[in-house]
Structure 1
Amino acid sequence: MTSIISLASSCYRQRPPQWRQVTFAGNKIVQTVFPAFSSTPAYNPEKKDDSPPSPLETTPVTNDAVLPPRDLGALEAATKSMGQVIFLGSPASGGVIFASLALGDPKLAAYAALGTITANTTSKIIGLDKQTWNNGLWGYNGALIGCAASVFGPAHYPYTALSTLVGAAATPLVSASLKSVLAQPQWTWSFNIVALTSLLRTRPLLPSSIEDTFSTSTAGFQDVQKLFDTFDASVKAMTSGVDPVVLSPLTGISQIFVVNSPLSGAGIVAATSMYSPMLALHAVGGCATGSIVGYLLGADLSAISDGLWGYNSCLASMAVGVFFVNSPQTMVLSVASAAASAALFGAMGPLFGAYGAPCLTLPFCTVATASYLLEGHIPGLKLAKNPHSPEKNE
Structure 2
Amino acid sequence: MWTDSKPDMREAGRKEARDAGPAVKRLMALTGDMPHLDKFMQDKLFALQLVVWALRGVTRVILANNPLSGSLMLAAIYWASPWQGLLGTLGLLTSTLVAVILGQDSGEVWGGLHGFNGMLVSLLMGVFNSAGDWYWWLLLPVCLASATSVFFFSGLSPVLDRWDLPVAVFPFNMVIIIYFLCTGPDNPYFPHHLAVPPSWVPPNVTALSATQVLQGIPLGVGQIFACSSLGPSLLILAGLCLYSPLQAFHALIGSAIGTLAGLSMAVRHECLYTGLSGFNGALGCMAVGGLFFMFNWKTHLLAIATAFLSAYVDIALSNLLGAMGLPACSWGATLTVTLLMLLRGDVATYRIPLGQVRAPEQNLRSRSRWQAGSAVEQESTDV
TM-score (ref. length: structure 1): 0.71
Counting helix residues as a fraction of each chain, which structure ranks higher? 2
Distance between the aligned counterparts of 1:308 and 1:67, measured in 2?
Answer: 39
The answer to whether structure 1 residue 387 and structure 2 residue 353 are counterparts is: no
Shift of 1:200: 2.6
Residue of structure 2 aligned with 1:306, choices 267, 274, 292: 274
Q: Check conservation: 1:200, 1:356, Cα contact below 8 A.
A: no
Provide, for residues 24-77 of structure 1, a one-character-per-residue CA deviation record: whole Å limited to 9, x for no partner: xxxxxxxxxxxxxxxxxxxxxxxxxxxxxxxxxxxxxxxxxx999567711111
Deviation of residue 89 (structure 1)? 1.1
Name 1:228's counterpart in structure 2: none
1:200-244: CA deviation from partner (whole Å, max 9, x where unpaired): 33222723xx579xxxxxxxxxxxxxxxxxxxxxxxxxxxx9922
* Cα RMSD (Å): 2.3
C-alpha distance in structure 1 between counterparts of 2:210 and 2:312, whole Å: 27
* Letter in structure 2 aligned against 1:391: E
CA positional deviation for 1:390: 2.1
Distance 1:281 1:250 in 2: 11
Q: Give 3-state SS (helix, strand or coil) of 1:244's partner.
A: helix
Matches within 5 A, 1:26-175: 73-153=49-129, 155=131, 157-175=135-153
Larger Rg belongs to: 1
Query: Aligned equivalents of 1:111 and 1:242: distance in 2?
Result: 34
**Greater RCO structure (CA 8 Å; 6+ sep):** 2
Q: Distance in 1 between matches of 2:121 and 2:62?
A: 15
Instruction: Judge conservation of contact 1:329–1:380 (CA < 8 Å) in 2.
Output: no
Offset from partner CA, 1:271-319 (integer Å, 9 cap, x none): 0110110010011110111001110121222211111111111111111
Give 1:376 deviation, angstroms: 3.6
Structure 1 CA distance for aligned equivalents of residues 292 and 239 of structure 2: 19
Contact 1:249 1:284 in 2 (8 A): yes
* Per-residue deviation, residues 123-159 of structure 1 (Å, max 9, x unmatched): 1111111111111101010110110111123626222
Shift of 1:80: 1.0
Give the match for residue 254 of structure 1. Answer: 222
Query: Equivalent residue for 2:370?
Result: none
TM-score if structure 2 supplies the norm length? 0.73
The structure with the greater share of residues assigned to strand is: 1
Q: Distance in 1 between matches of 2:295 and 2:137?
A: 45
- Paired with 1:149 and 1:189, the residues of 2 have a C-alpha distance of 16
Deviation at 1:168, TM superposition (A): 0.4
Looking at structure 1, the residues matched to 186 and 295 of structure 2 have their Cα atoms a distance apart, in angstroms, of: 44
Opposite residue 235 of structure 2, the aligned amino acid is G
Matched, 1:185 2:154: no
SS at match of 2:310: helix
Q: Which residue of 1 aligns with 2:239?
A: 271
Ranges of 4+ aligned residues in structure 1 off by more than 6 Å: none
CA distance in 1, matches of 2:329, 2:269: 20
Shift in CA distance, 136/299, structure 1 to aligned 2, threshold 3 Å: same
Do 1:329 and 1:381's aligned partners in 2 also have CA atoms closer than 8 Å? Answer: no
CA contact (8 A) 2:341 2:351 kept: no
